[in-house]
Amino acid sequence: KNQVEQSPQSLIILEGKNCTLQCNYTVSPFSNLRWYKQDTGRGPVSLTIMTFSENTKSNGRYTATLDADTKQSSLHITASQLSDSASYICVVSDPPSTLGRLYFGRGTQLTVWP
Amino acid sequence: NAGVTQTPKFRILKIGQSMTLQCAQDMNHNYMYWYRQDPGMGLKLIYYSVGAGITDKGEVPNGYNVSRSTTEDFPLRLELAAPSQTSVYFCASTQRDGYEQYFGPGTRLTVT
């Protein structure tokens, strides 16, 4: 069964600190992996999209890594800010030939304290 | 560019009532999607469309219907609302399958 598991479920860090969020998936075949940020009461917003051939991709203070062999990804946030408080969702897509269906993780709720 | 817009933002329905959730995008995207997000759960695909006049079921289509008469609009119809349909509904669109999806702000629906 295709699944996306994220850990931890929730995380609290102090402003200025770094953190790493984890994503394990069983989706196969696999096309791309995405990280979304979802602020409370808003729709998800894309942070990064990586294909199976990419190992890392950055977007400002956000760096995503991917190990397609072990089916693991991580999202590293550097020098956290209060505005980073949000849910971070890992999403894995199977190939367009099979509709390109997206499998959503449940998200990691990050809280940044001043 | 407004992106993806959804109306209403909030709605309370009584069991058995019907309503339509509106979704519109101004990016000329062919692909549009409806998701629901239950508390503590990942988003689940309800219906999707690959272009005007073409729609198909997603993972959880029961109790919903869609239509796509134009590229811009993709309304979601709830017939005979049930408490199990209490959720937050998101509409999304993308230029091509496999590309970044752009999400609307969501509609929070409560059925009591």
Identity of residue B69 = S
Sign of CA dihedral B32, B60, A35, A57: negative
Task: Note the pLDDT of residue B95.
Answer: 87
Asked if B101 lies within 8 A of A102 by C-beta distance, the reply is yes
Please say whether the beta carbons of A72 and A22 come within 8 A.
yes
Better-predicted residue by pLDDT, A98 or A109: A109
Asked if B42 lies within 8 A of A44 by C-beta distance, the reply is no
Task: Note the pLDDT of residue A93.
Answer: 87
* Residue range B55-80: mean pLDDT, rounded: 95
**Closest CA in chain A for residue B100:** A46
Q: Is the pLDDT reported for residue A98 higher than 50?
A: no
Q: How much of chain A exceeds pLDDT 90, in percent?
A: 78
Whose structure tokens read 């019907």? B18
Parallel, antiparallel, or unpaired: how do β-strands A86-93 and A72-77 relate? unpaired
How close A31 comes to chain B (CA, Å)? 8
A25 inside 8 A of chain B by CB: no
Task: Note the pLDDT of residue B44.
Answer: 93
**Closest CA in chain A for residue B38:** A106
End-to-end CA distance of chain B: 36
Using one digit for the tens of pLDDT, what is the confidence trace for A31-57?
889 999 999 989 999 999 998 889 999
**Closest CA in chain A for residue B102:** A45
Sign of CA dihedral A28, B100, B8, B41: positive
Task: Note the pLDDT of residue A101.
Answer: 77
Residue B42 CB neighbours (<10 A): 19
Please say whether the beta carbons of A2 and A94 come within 8 A.
yes
How close B26 comes to chain A (CA, Å)? 17
Rounded distance, CA B15 to CA B13, Å? Answer: 6
Q: How much of chain B exceeds pLDDT 90, in percent?
A: 83
Q: How far is CA A60 from the centre of its chain?
A: 15
* Chain B residues whose beta carbon lies within 8 Å of the beta carbon of residue A103: 42
Using one digit for the tens of pLDDT, what is the confidence trace for A80-94?
999 999 999 999 988
B77 inside 8 A of chain A by CB: no
Q: Is the pLDDT reported for residue B110 higher than 80?
A: yes
